Amino acid sequence: MNEFVERQMKLTWRPPKKSYDVVIVGAGGHGLATAYYLATRHRITNVAVFERGYIGGGNSGRNTTIIRANYGIPAAVRFYQRSVDLYRGLEQETDRWLMHQQKGILWMAHSEAAVRTERMRAKLNTEFGAQTQFIGPRQVQELCPQLDMSGGGRWPVLGASYHPQGATARHDRVVWALAEGAMERGAHVHQNTPVEGLILDGERVAGVRTAAGDVAAGAVVSAVGGHVSRIAAMAGLRLPIRTHRLQAFVTNHYRQQFGPIVASSELFFYASQTARGEMLLGAEIDPQPSFSYRSSHDFVQDVCRRALCLLPFMGNLRVLRQWTGVCDMSPDYSPIMGRTGVDGFYLTTGWGTWGFKAIPAGGEQMAELIATGEVPELIAPFGLDRFARDRTMADRGSAGTH
Amino acid sequence: MSLRIPCPICGDRSVHEFVHGEIRRVPDHVTDPDERDLDFAFHHDNEEGVVTERWFHAQGCRRWFEIRRDTTTDRIVEPSES
């Protein structure tokens, strides 16, 4: 976090104590949300969040900040809708401006098969609590006049599923608000303090070894993004996780207003306009497993080629910035939350390319699990044991980023 | 520059022409047969550092080959044919 921001915020830094009730590894969105909800919902404030870098400096600062609940399986629709609802109230709850803006998402269909898929998505979403409806080309054009409805002649827009609650928020403000909320209630956040190992007491995880010394803990939660396999290995666990890069970029300022978030799973890209007026584009993960933060030119080239089919006006814009996050991908494209089989060790991972939208609900549910000792119904299907039980939560089609 | 994969037949080509193939190794300390099946089906080493992996040149010569790559930098370490 930079000095300017620190001056604006009421954060009290304290040295690490010898012991905490709960230690959270990773001060990104999910780690801080867990600390925040432990403090606000369960009055558990003897909590420390250890961060190897700075608050929100990992994937929380490297995503495309899209918030939506139009997923493809019932459990996921319910979970992400909870998150959409929490996000809508988060500004008021934290008394911070998060630049949360409801824009609506248009998910384009360019073929009969895709029309069928989007119609099904709308039905399933409505059934399980998320507002999504299928709309025809005329309504699509009204919502987004910039679209070339012929899709460059090759990808005609035959309709779209419209999810009006789709939104974006400012990633930094979200993590800072959660950090402030947790810290002013007594939780500690320790930046620049990597966790180097776990303290094992027999079969149980009893604390963490950090760069600032050993810290005992009643419960340890890994909310790490990008390096979770390494943390899990410290507890003797092997995970169904492979880490891939995900790139995104923004263009220079587009003078007109671009209302909704536009996505197409046939063209594999999505676009939205940032608060600064830049057009933000994202697409699929890189094919090779990698922990490198390097971004590549061919990604920009590929995505531009596809995006210009639908949004030809972007041909006059220039690419301004490009960045990369490293995503922990689960095999079924659903998150992994809950107990691990190792006592005292909890995981919230597998956030792949869909972590930002789940920050409040993920934190709330993990906090409830830790505070009550019971797995909340909302995240019960997303346990790590689902792979051994042959109950995977396959939802690749909803990720929108593969 | 995107990742270029050194195909032993076709030379350096863009990663998008290839299919990644992981070499699955269930660690010896996993002994229970069900655990071994689970590990083989789902778990990954997901190592940070130099890994040996297989690639299939799907849009080229359609051969499988092995390379060593540093996953923290995406640098190809030493190409060798399997």
What are the pLDDT digits (tens) for A218-234?
Answer: 999 999 999 999 999 99
- Predicted pLDDT at A6: 62
Alpha helices in A74-193 (DSSP H): 74-94, 112-127, 137-143, 171-183
B47 pLDDT higher than 90: yes
Residues of B with CB under 8 A from a CB of A: 1-3, 14-16, 18-20, 22, 27, 30, 34, 38-39, 41-48, 69, 71-74
For chain A, the average pLDDT equals 94
How confident is the model over A296-341, as pLDDT tens digits?
A: 998 999 999 999 999 999 999 999 999 999 999 999 999 999 999 9
- Predicted pLDDT at A2: 58
A46 and B CB contact within 8 Å: no
- Predicted pLDDT at B82: 43
B82–chain A nearest CA distance, Å: 19
- Predicted pLDDT at A378: 97
C-alpha to C-alpha distances, A266 to A15, A47, A117, A359, nearest whole angstrom: 51, 44, 11, 27
pLDDT band for B80, please (50, 70, 90 cuts).
low
Name chain A contacts of B36, Cβ cutoff 8 Å: none
pLDDT band for A397, please (50, 70, 90 cuts).
confident
Query: Is domain A105-164+242-329 annotated with CATH 3.30.9.10?
Result: yes
How confident is the model over A147-181, as pLDDT tens digits?
A: 999 999 999 999 999 999 999 999 999 999 999 99
The domain spans of chain A are 15-62+171-240+332-399, 105-164+242-329
Q: Could you count the other beta carbons within 10 Å of the beta carbon of residue A248?
A: 24
A7 pLDDT higher than 70: no
- Predicted pLDDT at A85: 97
Stated pTM of the model: 0.95
A9 pLDDT higher than 90: no
- The domain covering A15-62+171-240+332-399 belongs, at the CATH homologous superfamily level, to FAD/NAD(P)-binding domain (3.50.50.60)
For chain B, the average pLDDT equals 91
Q: What is the average pLDDT across A134-157?
A: 96
Sign for the CA dihedral angle at A206, A55, A244, A268 comes to: positive
Q: In this structure, what is the dihedral angle of CA atoms A131, A134, A138, A143, given to the nearest 10 degrees?
A: 30
Name chain A contacts of B22, Cβ cutoff 8 Å: 242, 289
pLDDT band for A205, please (50, 70, 90 cuts).
very high
How confident is the model over A341-379, as pLDDT tens digits?
A: 999 999 999 999 999 999 999 999 999 999 999 999 999
Topology of domain B4-76, CATH = Folate-binding fold (3.30.2270)
Are residues A387 and B16, on separate chains, in Cβ contact within 8 Å? no
Cα first-last separation, chain A = 31
Which range, of A49-58, A390-399, B19-28, B71-80, averages the lowest pLDDT?
Answer: B71-80
Q: What is the average pLDDT across B1-30?
A: 92
Token pair, residue A121, equals 């998505």
Q: Tell me how far apart the alpha carbons of residues A380 and A304 are, in angstroms, rounded to a whole number.
A: 40
On the 0-12 / 13-18 / 19+ scale of CB atoms within 10 A, B30 is: middle
- Predicted pLDDT at A168: 97
A18 pLDDT higher than 60: yes
Cα first-last separation, chain B = 27
Sign for the CA dihedral angle at A82, A85, A87, A90 comes to: negative
A1 pLDDT higher than 90: no
Using CB atoms, which residue from B1, B18, B71 is nearest to A296?
A: B1
Helices A359-372, A29-42: inter-axial angle, 10-degree rounding: 50
Q: Tell me how far apart the alpha carbons of residues A294 and A213 are, in angstroms, rounded to a whole number.
A: 32
The domain spans of chain B are 4-76
Closest residue, chain A, to B40 (C-alpha): A240
Residue A222 one-letter amino acid: S
Q: What percent of chain A has pLDDT over 90?
A: 94
Name chain B contacts of A290, Cβ cutoff 8 Å: 3, 71-72, 74
A291 and B CB contact within 8 Å: yes
